[in-house]
Copies of this chain bind each other. A is one copy, B any other.
Amino acid sequence: MDTRLIEKASGAIADKYRLQILVTLSEKGSMNSSDIQEMTGLSQPCVSHHVKTLIDSGLVNAQKEGRNLNISLNKEAIKDLSGFLTKLT
């Protein structure tokens, strides 16, 4: 994992709503954008933007199922980031 990826992944975590999404994904396994909209109270375009940011960061995987976009944690990416941090210590 190069530093540009670390920077991107860290940036994805560095937001209250996206962090909430990640934590909820870790508990629930998967969510779609409507679930997130309900959970956060954010507008639909805003949720769409945050979901895109998370997908682009590599921290979550996305799977289209009909009209819904289901996202789930990319555990490998999270482990990679965690491993990078551990190596700093």
Contacts and interface: CB of A to CB of B under 8 A. Distances in A.
Interface string A51-89: 000000000000000000000010100110111011111
A35 interface: no
A41 interface: no
> Interface SS of chain A: helix, strand, loop or mixed?
helix
Contacts of A43: none
Copies of the polypeptide in the assembly: 2
B3 A89 contact: no
Contacts of A81: 85
B15 A3 contact: no
A13 interface: yes
Contacts of A10: 10-11, 13-14, 19
